Structure 1
Amino acid sequence: MVTISTDPALLDVDRVHRWLSTDAYWALGRHRDVLERAIAGSLCFGAYDESGQVGFCRLVTDRATFAWLCDVYIDPATRGRGVGISLMEAVDRELAGMQVGRAVLATADAHGLYARFGFAVMDQPERWMLRRYDSPSSG
């Protein structure tokens, strides 16, 4: 059984940092201090079973109009056991309660999971713009 919590005191930051900085294609090499700042500025979700933390994600949001779901990671040893679905159910409930107008995410490999929760390819991606900054420590 998996329990989902938004209590930041429960997060195993060492484990999350290891996952993201060594195994997550979008965050390889991310420095620990960057992760700590990201956690402090986000609504974080942890997934836990009897062995400890088995999943993580965070919402960057104003809690009124917009949310960005990011850093979704499930421990490889527990993938395929519904942890991602449980995590997304909790995120979806939270977003519905906030009544944000839109939530976005980026993924290279989990479109099917997110589609189950209403995420779809943007209708007008040409309206979105991206500005990158040279920050090798942020991953």
Structure 2
Amino acid sequence: MTWAISNELSARDINTAYGWISAESYWAKGLPRTFFERSVANSLCFALHDATGNLRGFARVITDKATFAYLCDVFVCATVRGQGAGRALMGAIIEHPELQQLRRWMLVTRNAHKLYEHYGFETPENPERIMVRLDPGIYARLSSEGS
């Protein structure tokens, strides 16, 4: 399969990616549209299109483009999983000129360890040094408050 990867997202791409992330992802179900749009505006985004121009994959990188990058919201459409789409998307991300010579990359995944290991990601040597501040119910609370 031939893939085209771009850092430019059309309004249609944003609608599709938002639908995936807010409805189908395990990590951001119920994400408010305004939050998604703000996250896209403040990230280096990657859109993976098939030969007909349809969005088939999406990812964001939050980065200072000098020392650190956090890979997130990686999503590949179910209809093309297992066809090299994830590898094509990851290859474009890792090879992006603005993301070279970074000291640290991070990501969180529940089920795609094998994909990311292929690109050098591994379990941290000292996980006890990593801390998080997580509010898993925020989107549900915002939804119930009408925000």
What TM-score, normalized to structure 2?
A: 0.87
Decide whether the 8 Å contact of 2:70 with 2:105 is kept in 1.
Answer: yes
Alignment check: 8 A CA contact 1:44 1:59 kept: yes
The C-alpha deviation readout for 1:110-130, integer Å capped at 9, x for no partner, is: 000000000000001111111
Are residue 129 (structure 1) and residue 131 (structure 2) matched?
A: yes
Correspondence list, 1:80-99, <5 A? 80-94=82-96, 97-99=99-101
Mapping for residues 1-139 of structure 1, pairs under 5 Å: 1-9=2-10, 12-49=13-50, 50-94=52-96, 97-133=99-135, 135-136=138-139
Distance in 2 between residues matched to 1:95 and 1:119, nearest whole Å? 19
Q: Which runs of 5+ in 2 are unaligned?
A: 143-147
Once the two structures are superposed, residues 14-49 of structure 1 have per-residue CA deviations (whole angstroms, 9 ceiling, x without a partner) of 111110111100010011111000000100000001
Say if 1:51 and 1:10 are closer, same or farther in 2 by CA, change over 3 A.
Answer: same
SS at match of 1:136: helix
Superposition deviation, residue 94 in structure 1:
1.8
Query: CA 1:87–1:60 in 2, change beyond 3 Å: closer, same or farther?
Result: same
Identity %: 38
Find the aligned partners of 1:95 and 1:68 in 2 and give their Cα distance.
16
Q: Which runs of 4+ in 1 moved over 6 A?
A: none
Greater RCO (Cα-Cα under 8 Å, separation 6 or more): 1
Paired amino acid for 1:89: G
**One-letter identity of the residue aligned with 1:94:** H
Larger radius of gyration between Structure 1 and Structure 2: 2
Q: TM-score when scaled to structure 1? A: 0.92
Which AA in structure 2 matches 1:132? L
Q: Residues 11 and 46 of structure 1 are in contact (CA less than 8 Å); yes or no, is this contact kept in structure 2?
A: no
The 8 Å contact of residues 7 and 45 in structure 1, kept in 2 or not, is answered as yes
Q: CA deviation at 1:131?
A: 1.4
Q: Which runs of 5+ in 1 are unaligned?
A: none
Which letter maps to 2:22?
S
CA-to-aligned-CA distance 1:66-125 (integer Å, 9 cap, x gap) = 000000000001111100000000011027853110100010000000000000000011
